[in-house]
Amino acid sequence: MSTPAPELLAPSGTTIESLTRDRGDAAARLSPEEQSALDREVLATQIQMLYANLGTAFGGQVLGTLLVAWAVMDTSPPWTVITWFVLSMANQISRLLLLRSYRRTNPDPDAAPRWGRYWLVGAAVSGVLWSSTLWLFFSPAAAQQQIVLMSLLVSICGVAAALTSMHLASYYTFLAATLLPVIARYVWEGSRDDLLIAFIISVLMIALWRVGKNFNALIERALRSRYANEVLSRRLESQNVELAQARDRADQASRAKSQFFAAASHDLRQPLHAMGLFAAALSAKAHEPEVANLVTSISSSVEALEGLFNELLDISKIDSGKVKPEVTDVSVSALFDRLRMDFEPEAFERGLVFRIRSRAAWVRSDPVLLERILRNLISNAMRYTPQGGVLVSTRIRGGKLRFEVWDTGLGIAAEDQQRIFEEFVQLANAERDRRKGLGLGLSIVQRLASLLGHPVQLASRSGRGTVFRVDVPMGRAPVVRATAVRSERSQADLGGRCILVIDDEASIVDGMGALLGSWGALTVLASRGEEALRKVSDRDAPPDLIIADYQLRDGEVGPDVVAAVRRHFGREIPAILVTGSATPERLEQAKDLGHHLLLKPVMPAKLRTLIQFKLKEQPA
């Protein structure tokens, strides 16, 4: 979208670009020498994160290499397949050797650019090897084989956005080396279908480019704030500056960070929304189980990216006061049942014992926020417990119910027990392994507990384990009245239904058109209200449903366009609004107009269910 981020999360005029250019008040107070040292530290940490992710990427790359060799071995010359396989495995082994050398060398910040160039060369080689599959093994008559290769390439590029975009040069090099030759190959073929595939890949490449750029900006901004504040703290200690000045700078840094994360929400949701639509459209055309699994990995990558920045944005929403608790009576038994169902499989996979000692009690709290606190504590306990187990229990203390999360993990030293509630602090993750999170879980726990008025206590012994305690007021069980419930779900397709789609983002319009078309719907696509009215006027009948983005270009909004189409046909056409930020005002407006509101990125399954609901009383 070309519009600014929603006012719910960021002030008017705030954009990712402006916040990225502005290094914040804390960084502005640094001397040129300190600023130069900060730049080196930020780059060194980004390179360190890059190499820390190599182990995760290696397994996926090897699996992908084996899948390609297996898929083409029957249709391609054996020596070509063997040569490509040997070169690909040699490249992956060389990357492991590079990681080993990096860990042995343990380079200082001044050497980080050199190690970044090493990685960039490897990224270029990897991209060329992957893209060569569409030139070496391309068979116009083998459509299934093309789907396998394309699904694999798109999956690898999607995962690369999360694993390598902290070093933009390497990410852009890999993305270009992987997808540009593929686009060229389909353009070379020249048929109508091949040119359409080339166009779709081009749109996806642009979306991935934006995701990588925005995620890199998130990481860099967070690192700069962190290191700048550390430098200023050391300077304050040496110069004995007044504590009031230190608090003021910390508040300014926190506000700048919250504004940045808020602005990032809008720009990141756009390409993620488009990627999810394309992935769902592609899955409808994949009939082989192996192909379907590869396509599923694309959707998994989208969901992983969404979860990654959602965790970052949670802190921004809490700090800005946009999270309002809705306190009610909460069943402890029901809460623990959900936790048991979600965490028992994870504990089994980790080889840990997971136990919950529940009681038939009720507490007064916000059910969603309380569950989030306990989930973060349990996830943190499992992540840092190599052996033994995790116990969740309750006990009554002073008229309150005390939730306790015990583990037999590494423990926390006394001097570190306050630091662990700070952002991006991970005591047992010196290598910055992204699989261990970003160091935000306990920071979110502290903020939510403070918001709810539930004190959090910590007791721990190094090497023996840790227990977190949360005290929550007791509640009362509500009076339950029996009601008849009827569940009904329609699986009918959308054949013969006409859906009008209005969005000023080209990739989203194309993705929505491809997805709805795969479900059998007839689509009318437009980027603004005038175009929508012109296209629907050419039809004899009104559309069955309107799907409109809330914020369009030049100040135009979706509800006004929907109203104009309804006036033109003189009937109440069902409508769905899609938005990057569901503010209370927008929710109230949508309710008054009879619209349903969806928050980007929209998962295809949820969209399908809502479309069927909106159409269930409409004549086909």
Residue 278 to residues 132, 464, 509: CA-CA distances in angstroms? Answer: 23, 49, 11
Task: For tokens 């973060």, name the residue.
Answer: 376
Burial classification of residue 488, based on how many CB atoms lie within 10 Å of its CB (0-12 exposed, 13-18 middle, 19 or more buried): exposed
Beta strands 353-357; 456-461: pairing state = unpaired
List phi, psi (to 5°) of 173: -60, -45
Residue 252 to residues 51, 134, 198, 233, 344: CA-CA distances in angstroms? Answer: 32, 51, 46, 14, 42
Q: Which pLDDT does position 363 carry in this prediction?
A: 92
Q: Which pLDDT does position 473 carry in this prediction?
A: 93
Q: For residue 333, give the 3-state DSSP assignment.
A: helix
d(CA 57, CA 123): 12
Cβ 560 vs Cβ 572: under 8 Å: no
- In 3D, which of 597, 606, 608 has the Cα closest to residue 518? 608
Q: Which pLDDT does position 24 carry in this prediction?
A: 46
CA dihedral 509, 513, 514, 520 (to 10 degrees): 170
- In 3D, which of 571, 597, 602 has the Cα closest to residue 584? 597
Cβ 575 vs Cβ 546: under 8 Å: yes
Q: Which pLDDT does position 18 carry in this prediction?
A: 43
Burial classification of residue 292, based on how many CB atoms lie within 10 Å of its CB (0-12 exposed, 13-18 middle, 19 or more buried): middle
- Give the list of residues 6+ apart from residue 499 with CB closer than 8 angstroms, or none: 516, 521, 522, 523, 524, 543, 544, 545, 546, 547, 611
In order of their start, the domains of the chain are 16-319 (no CATH), 328-473 (3.30.565.10), 498-615 (3.40.50.2300)
Cis, peptide link before residue 559, omega less than 30° from 0: no
Q: Which pLDDT does position 20 carry in this prediction?
A: 42
Q: Which pLDDT does position 447 carry in this prediction?
A: 84
Single-letter residue type at 196: L
Cβ 549 vs Cβ 558: under 8 Å: yes
Q: Which pLDDT does position 320 carry in this prediction?
A: 56
Q: Left (φ > 0), alpha (ψ -120 to 50) or beta: where does 437 sit?
A: left
Buried/exposed 209-218: b ≥16 CB within 10 Å, e otherwise: bbbbbbbbbb
Q: For residue 597, give the 3-state DSSP assignment.
A: strand
pTM score, two decimals? Answer: 0.39
Q: Which pLDDT does position 286 carry in this prediction?
A: 59
Please give the structure tokens belonging to residue 276: 């999810």
The DSSP symbol for 109 reads G
- Give the list of residues 6+ apart from residue 418 with CB closer than 8 angstroms, or none: none
Q: Which pLDDT does position 13 carry in this prediction?
A: 42
Q: Which pLDDT does position 547 carry in this prediction?
A: 93
d(CA 195, CA 135): 16
d(CA 440, CA 448): 12
d(CA 556, CA 546): 16
Q: Which pLDDT does position 165 carry in this prediction?
A: 78
d(CA 483, CA 486): 10
CB atoms within 10 A of CB 104: 8
The DSSP symbol for 554 reads G
Side by side, which strands form the sheet with 353-357?
353-357, 389-397, 400-407, 465-473, 456-461
Per run of 10 residues, the mean pLDDT along the chain (length 620 residues) is 34 41 50 75 82 75 81 82 88 85 84 85 86 80 74 79 79 87 86 84 86 81 76 66 62 61 58 64 62 60 55 57 78 86 81 87 88 88 88 90 91 74 52 45 82 88 88 81 40 75 85 84 89 86 90 87 90 86 68 77 78 69
Q: Which pLDDT does position 242 carry in this prediction?
A: 58
Q: Which pLDDT does position 492 carry in this prediction?
A: 44
